[in-house]
């Protein structure tokens, strides 16, 4: 670890690059071993050293900067659960990396010296690469053994990835599905900025202490490591192996549950918050019934409603179903509003999130009322006569909702969205009188 520390001080190499240059092929295992021996993650160590030697005035930093600075970061690039593009098709931000030859040359020189010294104490028929490899394997095995002894209060839960051992009551949770975690009374230590920025109804429940671990699609594993999570909760099966090297990881697949109470109950089991989950579900049933009753008093029982997004796309519209974001779950599942026959047959019955339709065919999908997405600060397109001639538009039965509040589709956000829609429909009915 002494050589690893030296590289962290002398170079801007990433954790993975340093791991490779001191004999560890897997940066995750190296980071865990480093934390075990040093008492902090590589990222925390680099930050501490930088602060102790004067930050950017450090002579080592000046040395590296004068010959070429490596600004790369190590990212996972497969997390694209929440996606939003306000100018057209979806986008995914991906982290990129660049290799600096000078930095690697310096790392290789230091490693060669370390290997040469180490070989003097080994059997003469062992190569330096083999010696480092064996040492790495032994270190990892010993680390795993020590961790197993220390992990008291662990329990096994069943997940879509099989059985996973998690703490009885996790204290430090990094999460990709904010709603259910907040619903059972747990504040995560880290979450993606995509969720925090496009789930505005949850912001009152998110203190400033929640750390941003990056956009979905460019999550920094070093940031996750620095947070020292007890549990990581993700939707992404493909990322499971990598995340589980940092901490016990649970893939929370909402498609496994048919109702919101089932989702919350499952999250309560994951986090050891069964009683909190039970209370939230009781409150959910009451609030759902209150919101439904509010609507029943102001619109006909058989009235149909549609959800349309024409502001985040170009030259066509998106009509939303009940299984995706943009308020669909809130309107159809929680409030029990009636979709038009075309929405039911083309979207809901086919279990798709949405369909793209032309302005010429929009009349086939729009009902007695229409919910329209808006984006704060963005002008809507010029609306054609096929839109302005719709009965819902002519009768002023248009309800506007803001994208940053309605993009999320998690259970907690959906409840808050449903209550907001109920209030908007009630206000619309009063105004119409």
Contacts of 433 (CB under 8 A, 6+ apart): none
- The Cα 238–Cα 253 span in angstroms is 12
Judgement on whether residues 272 and 172 belong to the same structural domain of the protein: yes
pLDDT of residue 147: 42
Does the residue 219 lie in any domain? yes
Same domain, 141 and 8: yes
Distances (CA, A) of 290 to 24, 242, 283, 299: 58, 44, 11, 15
* Helix intervals (H) in 39-176: 42-52, 59-67, 101-119, 128-150
Answer yes or no: do 127 and 194 share one domain: no
Whose tokens are 């995340």? That residue is: 243
Dist. CA 127–CA 122, nearest whole Å:
9
Measured over the CA atoms of residue 272, residue 276, residue 282 and residue 283, the dihedral's sign is negative
Q: Please tell me whether residues 189 and 234 are part of one structural domain.
A: yes
Are 111 and 189 in the same domain? no
Among 218, 240, 259, 275, smallest CA distance to 79 is for 218
- Last residue of a domain, which of 135, 150, 165? 150
Q: Are 79 and 234 in contact (CB under 8 A)?
A: yes
Q: Which range marks the domain in which residue 241 is found?
A: 154-279
Tell whether 11 and 140 lie within a shared domain: yes
Spatial distance between the Cα atoms of 188 and 181, rounded to a whole number of angstroms: 8
User: Does 143 map to a domain?
Assistant: yes
Flag whether 90 is in a domain.
no
Give the helix/strand (H/E) hosting 401: strand 398-402
Give the pLDDT of residue 104: 46
Of the three residues 232, 250, 279, the one that is the final residue of a domain is 279
Looking at the fold, whether 15 and 146 belong to one and the same domain comes out as: yes
Asked whether residue 93 is domain-assigned, the answer is no
**Helices and strands (H and E) in the chain: how many:** 19, 14
Judging by DSSP bridges, how do beta strands 162-167 and 154-159 pair with one another?
A: antiparallel
Residue 212 contacts residue 196 (beta carbons within 8 Å): yes
DSSP characters over 235-255: S-STTHHHHHTTS-EEE--GG
- The phi, psi pair for 400, rounded to 5°, reads -100, 135
Say if residue 130 is in the same domain as residue 169: no
Cβ within 8 Å of residue 56, ≥6 positions away: none
Distances from the Cα of 288 to the Cα of 284, 326, 419, 422, angstroms: 6, 18, 8, 10
Element (H, E) at 370: strand 369-374
pLDDT of residue 430: 78
What backbone torsions phi and psi does residue 51 show, to the nearest 5 degrees?
-70, -40
312 and 424 in a single domain? The answer is yes
Q: Which residue(s) pair with 192 in the sheet?
A: none
Q: Is residue 86 part of a domain?
A: no
Q: For residue 41, with 0-12 CB atoms within 10 Å meaning exposed, 13-18 middle and 19 or more buried, which class applies? A: buried
Reduced to 3 states, what is the DSSP secondary structure of residue 364? helix
Q: What pLDDT sits at residue 222?
A: 86
Element (H, E) at 186: none
* Phi, psi of 44, deg, nearest 5: -65, -40
Whether 88 is in a domain gets the answer no
pLDDT of residue 109: 45
- How far is CA 425 from each of CA 264, 419, 428, rounded to the nearest angstrom? 27, 10, 5
pLDDT at position 41 is 75
10 Å CB burial of residue 1 (0-12, 13-18, 19+) is middle
Which CATH number fits the domain that encloses residue 410? 3.40.50.1980
Last residue of a domain, one of 132, 150, 168: 150
Residue ranges of the chain with pLDDT lower than 70? 2-13, 16-17, 19-30, 32-37, 44-152, 217, 324, 432-433
Position 34 in a domain: yes
Please give the Cα distance from 313 to 333 (Å, whole number): 25
d(Cα 345, Cα 330) in Å, to the nearest integer?
19
The tally of domains found in the chain comes to 3
**β partners of residue 256:** none
| Shared domain check, 135 and 20 | yes
- Distance of alpha carbon 86 from alpha carbon 67, whole angstroms: 40
Could you tell me the two tokens for 216?
Answer: 């979905």
327 and 257 in one domain?
A: no
In a domain, 284, yes or no: no
Q: Which residue has the tokens 């020292």?
A: 228
Q: How far apart are the first and last CA of the chain?
A: 75
């Amino acid at each position: 670890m002494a050589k690893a520390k030296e590289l962290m001080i002398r170079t801007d190499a990433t954790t993975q690059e340093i791991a490779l240059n001191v004999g560890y092929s897997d940066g995750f295992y190296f980071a865990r071993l480093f934390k075990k021996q040093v008492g902090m993650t590589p990222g925390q160590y680099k930050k501490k050293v930088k602060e102790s030697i004067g930050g950017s005035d450090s002579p080592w930093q000046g040395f590296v900067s004068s010959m070429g600075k490596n600004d790369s970061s190590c990212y996972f690039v497969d997390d694209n659960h929440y996606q939003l593009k306000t100018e057209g098709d979806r986008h995914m931000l991906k982290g990129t990396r660049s290799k600096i030859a000078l930095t690697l040359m310096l790392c290789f020189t230091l490693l060669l010296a370390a290997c040469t010294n180490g070989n003097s104490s080994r059997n003469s028929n062992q190569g330096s690469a083999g010696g480092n490899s064996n040492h790495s394997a032994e270190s990892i095995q010993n680390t795993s053994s020590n961790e197993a002894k220390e992990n008291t209060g662990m329990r096994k839960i069943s997940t879509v990835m099989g059985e996973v051992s998690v703490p009885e009551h996790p204290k430090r949770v990094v999460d990709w599905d904010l709603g259910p975690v907040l619903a059972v009374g747990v504040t995560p230590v880290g979450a993606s900025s995509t969720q925090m920025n496009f789930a505005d109804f949850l912001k009152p429940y998110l203190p400033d202490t929640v750390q941003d671990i990056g956009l979905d699609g460019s999550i920094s594993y070093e940031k996750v490591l620095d947070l020292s999570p007890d549990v990581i909760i993700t939707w992404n099966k493909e990322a499971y192996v990598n995340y589980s090297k940092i901490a016990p990881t649970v893939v929370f697949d909402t498609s496994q549950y048919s109702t919101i109470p089932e989702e919350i109950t499952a999250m309560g089991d994951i986090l050891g918050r069964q009683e909190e989950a039970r209370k939230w579900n009781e409150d959910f049933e009451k609030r759902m019934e209150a919101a439904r009753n509010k609507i029943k008093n102001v619109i006909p029982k058989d009235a149909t409603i549609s959800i349309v997004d024409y502001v985040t796309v170009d030259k066509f519209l998106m009509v939303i179903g009940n299984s995706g974001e943009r308020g669909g779950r809130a309107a159809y599942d929680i409030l029990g509003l009636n979709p038009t026959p075309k929405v039911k047959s083309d979207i809901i019955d086919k279990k798709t999130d949405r369909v793209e339709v032309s302005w010429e065919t929009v009349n086939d999908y729009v009902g007695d009322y229409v919910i329209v997405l808006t984006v704060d600060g963005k002008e809507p397109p010029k609306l054609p006569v096929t839109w302005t001639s719709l009965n819902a538009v002519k009768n002023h039965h248009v309800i506007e909702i803001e994208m940053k509040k309605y993009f999320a589709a998690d259970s907690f956000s959906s409840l808050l969205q449903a209550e907001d829609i109920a209030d908007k429909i009630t206000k619309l009915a009063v105004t119409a009188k």
